Chain A
């Protein structure tokens, strides 16, 4: 049973295209996140959602639009893809928001924009 699952695992697309990444967690967690990992392995928060409500939008270009239809799902849609968007995108979840808890990460989606 995969706790946090992301699809697709790999995504290769041309500049200017629009693409989506899906994430689902079966842990019953309240909070979900999108993190971006660049080629230097740095992990940067993009968004966090608590019970379907957007909590953090960390100065991400508005070409990136997250959507949380329910607290078990958090999807990421990217419009007009650019070369600089190439990275590994990780979805994660944690138990709560008011208290701090560790994250459970998905296995990542490697996005390559050509």
Chain B
């Protein structure tokens, strides 16, 4: 089955700095790469996603880049704010597989 590795497991940055979280995957048939943000006491929320025919996608301060050859994709958060503090999960999906496989999560702390 699909194996998804996410790094780092914890990340601490100063407010205003950038944060980068990276995921690698094993199944070359994977074609969907979402990122979720989970705040304390809540369910994960989709914040950005990318499909395999695109190399980069941006939405205001967040961006995702995909390298299909190397089988890795990354979440980039610029100008971090304290409200960005949360657990971030990458996930990988394959059409018709019926599920997404999640990484183990990264706890991001943004210090004011």
Q: Are A105 and B95 in contact (CB under 8 A)?
A: no
- For B102, what are the chain A residues with a Cβ–Cβ distance below 8 Å? 35, 42-44
- For A103, what are the chain B residues with a Cβ–Cβ distance below 8 Å? 34, 36, 44, 46, 100
Interface size counted on chain A using CB atoms at 8 A? 29
Counted as pairs of residues, one from A and one from B, with CB atoms less than 8 Å apart, the total is 63
CB distance from B56 to the nearest CB of A (A): 18
- For A55, what are the chain B residues with a Cβ–Cβ distance below 8 Å? 98
Beyond A100-B32, A102-B49, whether A108 also contacts B95 by CB under 8 A is no
Q: Could you give, for residues 53-77 of chain A, a 1 whenever the CB lies within 8 Å of some chain B CB and a 0 otherwise?
A: 0011010000000000000000000
**Is A25 at the interface (CB under 8 A from chain B)?**
no
Q: Are A33 and B34 in contact (CB under 8 A)?
A: no
**Is B75 at the interface (CB under 8 A from chain A)?**
no
Q: Could you give, for residues 90-101 of chain B, a 1 whenever the CB lies within 8 Å of some chain A CB and a 0 otherwise?
A: 000111111111
**Is B112 at the interface (CB under 8 A from chain A)?**
no
CB distance from B18 to the nearest CB of A (A): 23
- For A101, what are the chain B residues with a Cβ–Cβ distance below 8 Å? 32
Q: Are B104 and A42 in contact (CB under 8 A)?
A: yes
- Of B43, B46, B95, chain A has the most CB atoms within 10 Å of the CB of B43
| Cβ contact of A33, chosen from B32, B49, B97, B99, cutoff 8 A | B99
- For A98, what are the chain B residues with a Cβ–Cβ distance below 8 Å? 95-96
- For B28, what are the chain A residues with a Cβ–Cβ distance below 8 Å? none
- Of B32, B46, B99, B104, chain A has the most CB atoms within 10 Å of the CB of B99
Query: Within residues 42 to 64 of chain B, which ones have a CB less than 8 A from any CB in chain A?
Result: 42-46, 49
**Is B87 at the interface (CB under 8 A from chain A)?**
yes
- For B96, what are the chain A residues with a Cβ–Cβ distance below 8 Å? 97-98
Question: How many angstroms from the CA of A107 to the CA of B42 in the assembled complex?
Answer: 5
Q: Are B95 and A100 in contact (CB under 8 A)?
A: yes
Q: Which residue from chain B places its CB closest to the CB of A99 in the assembled complex? A: B95
**Is B31 at the interface (CB under 8 A from chain A)?**
yes
CB distance from B47 to the nearest CB of A (A): 9
The 6 A-B residue pairs with the shortest CB-CB distance, nearest first, are: A105-B43, A100-B32, A100-B93, A102-B46, A55-B98, A43-B102
